[in-house]
């Protein structure tokens, strides 16, 4: 028997939010999180009882994150004063990635590495599930996640803080 949807939100909501923040940044993550659970609520009655709910929700979150990123790329953002140079992102990931330096290091990863690190290390999905979400083989997902963690270790800190946070 399938559990109530509210129980799935309670159990997996924080993980989905952390994944959205790791992929999109904190500004756009809340919208992607909301869209994820709205879509999931609509599809919940048709979900098989034996489905991996966490992987299913992370897959939906991935698609919503892609949608948000594409929508943001299509729309101009009006500003009062046009800067001379592009301003750096000043994202504060709050609870999802508590260390601002870590967020900067994660955001600097190549997209595939960032996604694989987020889905495997933040959401806890196995590499075959990560590969299904981002495309490619489980070995490629494993390699991208390992390369991302290695890059974080070399660029973020040498004192082992990465494994404590990611």
Least confident range from 44-48, 62-66, 159-163: namely 159-163
- Is 82 inside a domain boundary? no
Please report the pLDDT score of residue 143 as a whole number: 95
- Scan for tokens 């909501």, then name that residue: 13
Q: Does the pLDDT of residue 141 top 50, yes or no?
A: yes
Residue 20 shares a structural domain with residue 63 = yes
Per the prediction, the chain carries an average pLDDT of 80
Please report the pLDDT score of residue 113 as a whole number: 92
List the CATH number of the domain containing 36.
1.10.1740.10
- Is 115 inside a domain boundary? yes
By residue range, what is the domain housing residue 104?
A: 100-165
Please report the pLDDT score of residue 83 as a whole number: 58
Please report the pLDDT score of residue 157 as a whole number: 60
- Is 31 inside a domain boundary? yes
pLDDT band at 59 (very low <50, low <70, confident <90, very high): very high
Q: How many domains does the chain have?
A: 2
pLDDT tens per residue, range 148-157: 999 888 887 6
pLDDT tens per residue, range 63-113: 888 888 777 666 666 777 765 554 444 444 444 445 567 777 888 899 999
């Amino acid at each position: 028997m399938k559990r109530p949807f509210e129980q799935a939100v309670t159990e997996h909501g924080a993980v989905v939010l952390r994944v959205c923040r790791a992929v999109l940044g904190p500004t756009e993550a809340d919208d992607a999180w909301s869209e994820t659970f709205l879509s999931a609520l609509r599809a919940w009655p048709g979900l098989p009882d034996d489905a991996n709910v966490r992987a299913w929700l992370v897959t939906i979150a991935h698609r919503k994150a892609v949608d948000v990123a594409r929508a943001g790329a299509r729309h101009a953002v009006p500003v009062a004063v046009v800067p001379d140079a592009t301003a750096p992102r000043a994202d504060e990931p709050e609870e999802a990635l508590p260390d601002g330096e870590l967020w900067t290091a994660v955001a600097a990863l190549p997209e595939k590495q960032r996604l694989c690190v987020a889905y495997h290390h933040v959401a806890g999905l196995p590499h075959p599930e990560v590969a299904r979400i981002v495309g490619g083989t489980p070995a490629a997902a494993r390699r991208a996640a390992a390369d991302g963690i290695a890059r974080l270790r070399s660029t973020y800190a040498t004192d082992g803080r990465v494994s404590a946070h990611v």
